[in-house]
Amino acid sequence: MSGNPYQEDRGNKDATITNTHGAGTMQPAHRKSGPTKKVEGDSPFLIGDCMTGGYGKGPDILHDCTIAVNPGEIAVIVGPNGAGKSTAMKAVFGMLNVRSGSVRLDGEDITQLTPQDRVVKGMGFVPQTSNIFTSMTVEENLEMGAFIRTDDFSNTMEQVYHLFPILKEKRNQPAGELSGGQRQQVAVGRALMTQPKVLMLDEPTAGVSPIVMDELFDRIIEVARTGLPILMVEQNAKQALEIADKGYVLVQGRNAYTGTGQELLADPEVRKSFLGG
């Protein structure tokens, strides 16, 4: 794997001497943050502008891909399997080597920052899988979300409990014992604890039942109404576009169609190719 002899374990699976549980798999584009610079001119609050790049030294997966979101909006990235939806989101979050193009947040070029520093800048990211601390209680999960804050975060926690009442009920239960939908609520709640300026959700409804999915979408709309911009990758294109202010249809790492959710839903071309008629 990647020619690094230290990452070769020669098939060792002996868990009595090695613990792979929860080990890090994230491979950020930059190990150390580079400089940021102020950018003049009018541009969306968060924008991944004309991004081209791929993982590590690998081939380009994104080609001139642009994704943007403004306060109070929900932007949704949809597209067929392998279109680079999650990859586009990860590029915005700094997990991808962006070779040309830039990522700008609130008038600042953050292309060279590590994912951790982007969190400090105000990006809240909810990964698709392993997005909660399973062995810790719901409340501890939220506390960990607020780790970078030095002020009193009990107000934010109350807001999260207000948004997700079920979490308040289960605050002292290990998060790993909750159902799929409740876990996603914990994950979103954890990200909200930093009081982010923008929230990024990677397939928040993956693997939950349709009823729970509707409820999750309702909650996401509720969060967006507070003015927080939300960027979301979704499998369920139809439902996602219905709540989207802005939709991006990606095909093979390129912007295929862009428009408001309603426009895309009405577009016969999009309907035929992605929404099943």
Partner 1 sequence: MELLNALVAFTNFVGVPAIAYGSQLAIGALGVTLVYSVLRFSNFAHGDTMAFGTMVTILVTWLFQGAGISFGPLPTALLALPFGIAVTMGLVLFTDRTVYRFYREQKAKPVVFVMVSLGVMFMMNGLVRFIIGPGDQRFADGERFIISARDFKKMTGLDEGLAIKTSQGITVVTAIIVVALLFWFLNKTRTGKSMRAYSDNEDLALLSGINPERVVMYTWLIVATLATIAGVLYGLDKSFKPFTYFQLLLPIFASAIVGGLGSPIGAIAGGFIIAFSEVTITYAWKKVATYVLPETMAPDGLVQLLSTDYKFAVSFAILIIVLLFKPTGIFKGKSV
Interface contacts to partner 1, rule CB under 8 A: 4, 6-10, 12, 14-26, 115-116, 119-120, 125, 127, 130-136, 140, 143-145, 147-148, 190, 194
Q: Please give the Cα distance from 172 to 140 (Å, whole number).
A: 8
Enclosing H/E stretch for 162: helix 154-163
For residues 8 and 222, which CB has a smaller minimum distance to partner 1 in the complex?
8
The least distance separating partner 1 from the CB of residue 218, rounded to whole angstroms, comes to 25
Could you tell me which of 85, 54, 80, 53 has the C-alpha nearest to residue 67? 85
Length of the chain: 277
Could you tell me which of 46, 84, 105, 102 has the C-alpha nearest to residue 230? 46
The least distance separating partner 1 from the CB of residue 17, rounded to whole angstroms, comes to 4
DSSP sequence for 207-227: T--HHHHHHHHHHHHHHHHTT
The least distance separating partner 1 from the CB of residue 118, rounded to whole angstroms, comes to 9
For residues 25 and 154, which CB has a smaller minimum distance to partner 1 in the complex?
25
State how beta strands 37-38 and 108-109 pair. Answer: antiparallel
For residues 10 and 38, which CB has a smaller minimum distance to partner 1 in the complex?
10
The least distance separating partner 1 from the CB of residue 36, rounded to whole angstroms, comes to 17
The least distance separating partner 1 from the CB of residue 18, rounded to whole angstroms, comes to 3
For residues 26 and 211, which CB has a smaller minimum distance to partner 1 in the complex?
26
For residues 8 and 169, which CB has a smaller minimum distance to partner 1 in the complex?
8
Angle between helices 210-225 and 180-192 (to 10 degrees): 20
For residues 159 and 260, which CB has a smaller minimum distance to partner 1 in the complex?
159
Bridge partners of 46, per DSSP, are 69, 105
For residues 121 and 168, which CB has a smaller minimum distance to partner 1 in the complex?
121
Enclosing H/E stretch for 97: strand 97-105
Secondary structure of residue 107 in the 3-state scheme? coil
Q: What is the DSSP letter of 39?
A: -
- Give exposure, 72-108, as e/b (b: 16+ Cβ within 10 Å): ebbbbbbbeeebbbebbbbbbbbbbbbeebbbbbbee
The least distance separating partner 1 from the CB of residue 24, rounded to whole angstroms, comes to 4
The least distance separating partner 1 from the CB of residue 135, rounded to whole angstroms, comes to 5
